[in-house]
Structure 1
Amino acid sequence: MVGRRHTSGLDALLNMWHRRKWLAILVFTAPFAMTVTLVSVLPNLYRSTATLLVERPQVSDTFVKSSVTSELETRLHTISQEILSRSTLQELIDRFDLYPEFRKRASPEEVVERMRRDVRMEFKERGIRRDPKEGELPRLVDPQGERAATVAFALSFRGRDPHVVAQVTNTLASLFVKQNLNLRKRQAAGTAEFLRVQLREMKNKLDQEEARLSEFKERHLGELPEQMSVNQTTLIRMNAELRFNKENQTRILELMERERLASQLALARQFAYASQSAEGSPLPPSDESLTPDGDAELITARLRLARLNQELTDLRTRFSEKYPDVIRVKAEIAALERQLGAAAGDHGSAAEPAPPVNSSRTQARKIPSEAEKELKTLREEEKSLVQAIAMYQQRLDQAPLRDQEYQERFGDYKTIKDHYNALLQRYQEALVAESMEYGQKGDQVRILDSAIPSTRPAAPNLLRLIFIGLILSIGLAGGAVGMIEHRDTSFHTLSELQAFTKVPVLATIPRIVTKTDTSRQRRRFWLRTAAALMGLAILVGTTYWVAQGNEQLVWMLDGKRS
């Protein structure tokens, strides 16, 4: 009302209460009665919590490195997914007869999903983020960047029966411990099996490379890099043996030449003695008379020719035909051979040997002397030495090429060998780690505190609901009265009328109430009261029907979700 002059605030409130008290009482009573009914019939939900502890390995990583290298967060998430699987939760629902009323009107998938929401896990370790997204585990955060020594976490379950809730919580905790052990065993066994397969494949490759390397060594025996020093030593020794052999041949040739010349000299003496005897000379000829100067030069030339031939053979074993020393020795041999040929032609007609002497010389040639046999043996040995020297020289010449080929093959072999040794070491560590897991010496989850039946419900919070309902009822009542007063345009007091118009008020006439008016007002009051009570009963009944056993409503009013 514009321009309305108000009285004191208290008088206005009293007048307003006098006019609108039944409306305020009705508006206040309806929501408050619903709140009281809601608090009275809502089911109590109990929560039991079991505390689990993740302990570090009993054996230090310095001695035995675990093959289960997955992060704790990942492993716990995997275990929780296995525990919250449909088959596991369905088995628990059937065993403990959970949600009997809800199972009558819902599908098995909905019942399992409801139990998932009732299971909650939260960590109790410093540096852990406690605001995970829906459907995720809390994330482990170590502020120092190191693995925590222990991690404690709480596993809880809520329901209507505190004893059943405690049993279910302890069962879930036992399953968590069991699944952790089984998971670590599976991971350790899987790691060992994977390394076993890899080791077998690498062993086959290593055997193939060893066979290739052995075949290469057998095919090029004596040409390998590690045999170069032996080949060089052997070659030096054979060259020394060859020189010694040639010296022996030279010595034998000189000896044979002396024997031949001595034999010729003896024959010449016999021939000269026979000639002098025929002429009547009683004295035998002297050596000087039987050995002219030409024969001495011939003997010297033949000895030098034998030495040159031996020297040429020695040079040919080491150098080619174009080598200067080889050409020089060949030229000297050719000159000596021409000289000996000319000398043999001059002396051939001078003395014709007697037939008896020729017969004895021919017979002597047919019987090889010991020197000739030894010379033959030395020449055969020389031939073998020359062939062996050529073979060892070829090995030394081929050594760089064989060294390159060998290094290529040995490099491949060494790479595979190193890989095999690394796999073997990791496989042995995996076997020890697997044994450690089966001996329960690795990271273990144990129950620190078992769940016990709760004596106080976790939800709903009755005092909080009553307080909220009271505040809401008062607010609704005040709002309803204020809205009605704002829409009311009638005058209730003299001051309101005087504030509205300048016309003076001469008199006030009180309300005249007859018996008929009183009867009508009483009847109207009872009708309104009956309607209000009926509406209130409908609201209370509806609230009772909705809230009776409604755990979902408890979740909503409690404001928490698992």
Structure 2
Amino acid sequence: MEEQAQDLTRIKGIIKRRKWWLIWPFVATVALAAIICMILPNMYKSTATILIKNQQIPPTLVPSTVTSYAEQRIQTITQEVMSRAKILKLIEKYNLLPNDRDKLTTEEMVEKIRDRITLEPINAEINKETSSRPVLLTIAFTVSYEDEDPKKAQLVTNEISSYYMEKNLESREAHARGTTKFLEEQLKQVKDQVDKLETKLAEYRKAHLEELPEFTNLNMQKLEKLNSDISNINMQIRSLEEQRATLRNKLASIDPYSGASDRVLSPEERLQQAKLERAQLLSKYSPKHPVVLAKNREIALLEKQVGEVNKIGYLKEQLHELELKLADLKSRYSDKHPSVKAVKREIAQVKKEIRTLKTKGGTSATRRVTDATNPAYIALKSDLDKINVSVASLKAEKKRLEKQIGEVYKKLHAMPEVAKKYNELETDYENAKAHYQELQQKLLTARVSQGMEEDQLGETFLIIEPAFLPEKPDKPNRIAIMLIGVVLGMGLSVGMAALREYTDKSIRDVETFEKITGAPVLSVIPRIITSDEKIKKRRKKIVLVTSAFGGVIVVLIIFHFFVMDLYVFWAKLSRLVQSKVLL
């Protein structure tokens, strides 16, 4: 207890000795805080609250083509609001920072206005159908602006909040229109592609109609019918050939110039008979007699005819030998072998000579029988000519059918490749057509969504609390500044007093003296106060009282001009007291 009493006594002594070190730092700090309060201008803050209103038509009925989130659009518009051009327009329109235009550069003014604009999102946890947990979404946001003039603060805040609404509508409508335009262009391109593929598919189908897989059965039936027709023609040709051979045999045994029962002599027999007749004529006439000369010409013609017939027989025998040789060579070599090619050339040459001799002989024979008078011969010859015409016609028809068979086989062989190409074209056409129908559906949806955005039925920004005219400044907080000044003043004054006490090496009490010297104190001489010291002390008190009174006046002035009018404060205080008294 004695130690505590001694400590208290020591502290009282320190306070008494260092009272000015405690008073003046405190007063100076509080005065500095009061000066700061007086220097700092009033900043009025106006705030507008903007609600993010959801799409009014259910998305399941009309899906929106604007897929960006509201937070993204807010950040995009914020960048536009904070742009240098937009800030400069606000400065010019509302005459912002009028006192700082000559002191600050353009960039400094823009940065200062940016610092005064604040945007704060209002988030809430929303239960969405697509998520099992609540999702934190922005449902609204606030836009604020600070200015020395409360009216300007309100006007600028209204300007910025309106800008957010306008840009949001423009952004959504532009996005919807851009989507619709893009889909229209894509639809046009795909339509051209579908038309080209359709034309290409039709042309390919037209060019390869009977080569398509669906005509396989038809081609097989056609091939079967052609083969059947050729078989029938072959049977008819064989029958006519037999009839022609029979007629030729009959014609060979009938003389075209005699009765129907006379036999036609062969060229050799006629030559032998002509020679006998010439011998008889020579026994009667001279060699230069006209009758003998005529017979000689007849004998010469017959000899020539017999020679040609013999030559044709020789050539036929030679042709038969060459054909046998060719068959033997083909059994050992291919068609491209030199020996095979040489034999083929010889056969062609022999056939050509035989055709030439037959043509000459046929002409002579025709010339000889054109004036035939035998009715039987003429009838048989007419029937033979008819058969020849029928055989030639049947052979031509057979050749035509064989050509058709070749075409059918060609179509059948080309079917796999044609089917592959046709399927590729058809697949491309179906895919393009499906894409076209999909784009049509998307374009219809985009147009409905564009109409919804133009009618402002989509997600919009709605000002639920417009910017108000602030009645009291938001900054500076002078009470907080003064409290900070008081706390700092107290701390500074105590620190200064402690520092002064610690650096002062003077001995102030008996205990300290005895402790330092180790000798007891016999007596203590009290302090003698002179009249001059009394005068100085009185002056200090006057200064102290005057300073305190001046401080109170300064505080009242600050309160009156920067916090609240004293008359208003007195009126409010009076109403408060009256209400308390009445209660």
Post-superposition offset of 1:383: 3.4
Aligned partner of 1:164 in structure 2 is 152
**Of residues 67, 86, 92 in structure 2, which corresponds to 1:94?**
92
Partner of 1:277: none
1:182 to 151, 170, 173: 170
SS in 2 for 1:233: helix
* Pairs within 5 Å for 1:424-463: 424-463=440-479
Match of 2:566 in 1: none
Query: Residues 219, 365 of structure 1: CA spacing in aligned structure 2 closer, same or farther, 3 A cutoff?
Result: same
- Among 68, 71, 88, the residue aligned to 2:69: 71
RMSD: 4.5
Aligned to 2:112: 114
C-alpha deviations, 1:514-543, integer Å up to 9, x for none?
A: 4466667788x699989x98xx99xx9xxx
Aligned residues of 1:6 and 1:495 also touching (Cα < 8 A): no
Moved more, 218-227 or 86-95: 218-227
Letter of the 1:123 partner, please give it.
Answer: P
Q: 2:124 touches 2:136 (CA, 8 Å); kept in 1?
A: no
The one-letter code of the counterpart of 2:156 is V
Deviates more, 1:193-202 or 1:392-401: 193-202
1:447 deviation in Å? 1.8
How has the CA–CA distance of structure 1 residues 439 and 371 changed in structure 2, closer, same or farther, with 3 Å as cutoff? farther
Cα distance in 1, alignment partners of residues 131 and 36 from structure 2: 46
- Identify unmatched segments of 5+ residues in structure 1: 129-141, 273-320, 323-354, 549-562
1:349 corresponds in structure 2 to none
State the alpha-carbon separation in 2 of the partners of residues 53 and 428 from structure 1.
30
For 1:390, what is the secondary structure of its paired residue?
A: helix
Kindly state the Cα deviation for residue 416 of structure 1 after the two structures are TM-superposed. 5.1
| Mapping for residues 311-322 of structure 1, pairs under 5 Å | none
Structure 1 residues 442-466: Cα deviation after superposition (integer angstroms, max 9, x where no partner): 3222222222223343222232222
Seen in structure 2, the aligned counterparts of structure 1 residues 145 and 182 have a Cα distance that, compared at 3 Å, is farther
Q: What CA distance in whole angstroms lies between the structure 2 residues aligned with 1:482 and 1:83?
A: 55
* Matched residue SS, 2:210: coil
Asked if structure 1 preserves the Cα contact closer than 8 Å seen for 2:45 and 2:153, the reply is: yes
Partner of 1:26: 24
Listed one character per residue, the Cα deviations across residues 127-166 of structure 1 (whole Å, up to 9, x for unaligned) are 59xxxxxxxxxxxxx9857877872122222222333222
Change (3 A) 1:143 1:125: farther
Which is greater in Rg?
2
Aligned-pair CA distance for 1:513: 4.0
Q: Specify the code of the residue in structure 2 equivalent to 1:445.
A: F
TM-score w.r.t. length of structure 2: 0.63
Which secondary structure state, in structure 1, belongs to the residue aligned with residue 473 of structure 2? coil
Query: Which runs of no fewer than 5 residues in structure 2 stay unpaired?
Result: 262-329, 332-370, 563-583
Q: In structure 1, the residue corresponding to 2:99 is in which secondary structure?
A: helix
Distance 1:11 1:452 in 2: 60
Output the CA distance in 2 between the equivalents of 1:143 and 1:29.
62
Deviations along 1:392-431, whole A, 9 cap, x unmatched?
1211022123233444555555555555555555444444
Aligned to 1:239: 227
- How far is the alpha carbon of 1:106 from its aligned partner? 1.2
After alignment, is 454-463 or 109-118 more displaced?
454-463
Alpha-carbon distance in 2 for matches of 1:29, 1:500: 37
Q: Which of 501, 506, 516 does residue 485 from structure 1 map onto?
A: 501
Count of residue pairs the alignment pairs up: 442
Distance in 2 (CA, whole Å) between partners of 1:361 and 1:145 is 117
Note the C-alpha offset of 1:126.
Answer: 2.0
What aligned pairs does 1:222-371 form with structure 2 within 5 A after superposition?
Answer: 222-243=210-231, 358-362=374-378, 365-366=381-382
1:469 counterpart = 2:467: no
Change (3 A) 1:242 1:227: same
Relative to 1, partners in 2 of residues 1:64 and 1:514: Cα closer, same or farther, differing over 3 Å?
A: closer
Deviation at 1:213, TM superposition (A): 4.4
| Letter matched to residue 25 of structure 2 | V
Structure 2 match to 1:398: 414
Q: Secondary structure at the match of 2:118?
A: strand
Q: Which residue number in structure 1 is paired with residue 279 of structure 2?
A: none
- Amino acid in structure 2 at the alignment position of 1:91: K
Higher relative CO (CA 8 A, sep ≥ 6), structure 1 or 2? 1
TM-score, with structure 1 as normaliser: 0.65
Given that residues 47 and 144 in structure 2 are in contact (C-alpha distance below 8 angstroms), is that contact kept between their aligned partners in structure 1?
A: yes
CA deviations on 1:59-96 (whole Å, 9 max, x unpaired) are 34334433322333322211211222222222222222
d(CA) in 1 for partners of 2:51, 2:538: 73
Superposition deviation, residue 206 in structure 1? 5.0
Q: CA deviation at 1:475?
A: 1.2
Deviation at 1:254, TM superposition (A): 8.2
Asked whether the 8 Å contact 1:127–1:143 carries over to 2, the reply is no
- Aligned equivalents of 2:94, 2:78: Cα separation in 1: 20
TM-fit CA distance, 1:505? 2.0
* Contact in 1 for aligned 2:49/2:464 (Cα 8 Å): yes
**SS at structure 2 position matched to 1:95:** helix
1:212-231 correspondence to structure 2 within 5 Å? 212-231=200-219
Which residue of the partner structure matches residue 13 of structure 2? 15
Per-residue deviation at 1:211? 5.4
